[in-house]
Structure 1
């Protein structure tokens, strides 16, 4: 993929993250902590419904796109089964007199249930329409379709504040519904030629069965990974309360800044690394990239440990503990990104079941950890459990890749990730009473990077100086 196309796709996650930093403090100042927690559960439901009801056919679409002549027929074949299943399921649940909102938000309301249903359906449709833009490499349209809805969400929330509207979960869900429908409309306009052509196509049921055979097994691994990322929020709702969930979701949202690095890196890394592996003479490049990513990941942890107190400047007093929790919340995006550089062997050997096993084991570990820690520690327990679970996930992916392909240098890999995770967990547990000690810990760890990664730091410095002197 050309660097300009990569940049076009990167605009979306970067712009979305920036707008997220505006949206989050805005919501925390004007809506209750409990409603912020309810919003987190709504997001969990959105991600699960999109994943489950896609039936793995979204991944089948990506797999078959370049080999399929009739792309309109392919789109209709992969979209329609999940869409029909989702709408029928929601229709049935809505007839249960507000059960949907009661399950998710702890409020029995037919009105809220209908609003949530609109959010789920529009998000599902937008997911499939976005695949058209992604596969046809229309990066700018894809990015704008991510940024504009978040900008609209900010405008709607500002409208609630200016006009002194009731600041409750109903209005928050309305804002999300309008935003999600806007996403759907923007994607619909950008892909109108594609889906209008799909209307006239017939579904090839033999092909559908073949696509389901490919896609359905992938759901198990995807659900395991979803569970790994969502267990903390679900169990906080069940074992604690919406107040703790609200605090935790704010910490997770700040940590989501690291997902920009994750998203951009994954876009560039996946096609490049398999090309290197196929050539067979560039394997040292893979190890070199691994060292660079380890350096960046550890630096992120250190900077979070040193400067996480800054988040309190943007949040109300009841979110003071976010400054400690956010450090452990970095475990998911950072350790997942690092694992992408060590998991190459699983992809090359075409043994995806090992990735699924890694997700399942880490998922089970996270359930046990959350079940043990949340009742006594609340949001703190969810953060440390998830951070440790993702370290386990990273180690399992690395070891499985080595088993299936080749050994990689991993003394520094496990040492620095262990120091980062251990520091993050202890900082989250005891940061409020031992803050100065942890400041020293993170400073020493950051300084040590200049010793053990001297060559990488020197090369990064030379690249920056070259760019500054010759822009």
Structure 2
């Protein structure tokens, strides 16, 4: 247990928890001051950002994480430069495509040009920040990661609240806060990192390897983001913005489970990789796996207990009927947390194509299930779809992971 929990991983976990707590605590303030229409549109924009980020990063963060420790200092600088170059290039291509789509299909009433340009600026800045965050985690710079993760989010929240109180409670207030957070994060990247100035042809080998590695990972990541966001995307398309705003409030406690599982994964995955590599430690893996699943189930139960106090203390009366939705969403995200326990075995065997196939297939199934449930039960159907899809996802990944050779060897030992 002592080898499992190290100080740097605890700080990384703390950074992610604080990063998630800031927008979570901001939701009651935004729901009080913003109209349901603007609040629903904000939710749709934030979901769209999460969908686009993996396409812009294009697996650079994963390639950086797997290659960084194998290089010397100069090689690491070149690697960071190559990964940032790939991210910027991919981001520019996505931004061009988005701009074309905006002027062909979206009217000013749906999304104004001003808000659209802020939106693509947020996407670009967050994609660069994703690569920087991977660099800090893999190098064990947990204190810098804590500053890098929390300070921009806190600035964005303060700026959003200030604009709402002193100027306008409209959508642009929160978008400007997110934009300011992205700018500060990139400034911290420039301040903390040193980059190697090299010619473009010197980047070609690293870029080729990064693209090859990232192809399977980006499909898995993108499909995973769509999987997590499809409930809100479908509600935003086939239901009213008021329903989407209602669901967004109910979603907040579910997102706590999402943050818990993501932070847990930052600690669990390195532990599994190290244990599988060192055969002498394999005997402890079954016990730790049992503890991990039990801990996630316990966390889901505790978060569910917080639903009634949260709605009573923080949520306006107009949204009180969303409390029942929260239980469904928490159940779905708890199941997805169990998926995090078993997915490292698939990564260890480098079966990312299998993982991408699983994620894309289940994403399509989730879309069909959620769409059908929304048509049958309205906004409640989105929560039902999330619960069903989460349980199926966890089950399929477990069945795939249990047959991985590395897991069989570890459990035999």
Common fold by TM > 0.5: yes
Which among 81, 93, 117 is matched to residue 86 of structure 2?
Answer: 81
Contact 1:98 1:112 in 2 (8 A): no
Contact 1:34 1:246 in 2 (8 A): yes
| C-alpha distance in structure 1 between counterparts of 2:121 and 2:169, whole Å | 21
Which structure 1 segments of 5+ residues have no match?
409-471
**Counterpart of 1:315?**
315
Instruction: List per-residue Cα deviations over 1:75-108 (Å, max 9, x = no partner).
Output: 22222233134235425644777568x38x9624
Residue correspondence of structure 1 range 268-307 to structure 2 within 5 A: 268-280=267-279, 282-307=281-306
Structure 1 consecutive aligned stretches of length 4 or more whose deviation exceeds 6 Å:
none
**Residues 320 and 199 (structure 1 numbering): CA distance in 2 closer, same or farther, change over 3 Å?**
farther
Contact 1:99 1:109 in 2 (8 A): no
| C-alpha distance in structure 1 between counterparts of 2:386 and 2:180, whole Å | 32
| C-alpha distance in structure 1 between counterparts of 2:310 and 2:109, whole Å | 29
Q: Check if 1:259 corresponds to 2:258.
A: yes
Per the TM alignment, residue 389 of structure 1 is displaced from its structure 2 partner at its CA by 0.7
Contact 1:98 1:109 in 2 (8 A): no
Which structure 2 segments of 5+ residues have no match?
none
Q: Check if 1:246 corresponds to 2:239.
A: no
Per the TM alignment, residue 260 of structure 1 is displaced from its structure 2 partner at its CA by 4.0
Range that drifts further, 238-247 or 298-307: 298-307
Which among 120, 124, 139 is matched to residue 123 of structure 2?
Answer: 120
Contact 2:304 2:330 in 1 (8 A): no
Superposition RMSD on alpha carbons, in Å? 2.7
**Counterpart of 1:235?**
234
**Counterpart of 1:188?**
190
Per the TM alignment, residue 10 of structure 1 is displaced from its structure 2 partner at its CA by 2.0
| C-alpha distance in structure 2 between counterparts of 1:356 and 1:95, whole Å | 28
**Structure-1-length-normalised TM-score:** 0.77
Contact 2:342 2:397 in 1 (8 A): yes
**Residues 224 and 93 (structure 1 numbering): CA distance in 2 closer, same or farther, change over 3 Å?**
closer
**Counterpart of 2:394?**
394
Larger Rg: 1
**Residues 297 and 209 (structure 1 numbering): CA distance in 2 closer, same or farther, change over 3 Å?**
closer
**Counterpart of 2:15?**
12
**Counterpart of 2:24?**
21
**Counterpart of 2:370?**
370
* Larger RCO (CA within 8 A; separation ≥ 6): 2
**Residues 345 and 5 (structure 1 numbering): CA distance in 2 closer, same or farther, change over 3 Å?**
closer
Residue correspondence of structure 1 range 433-444 to structure 2 within 5 A: none
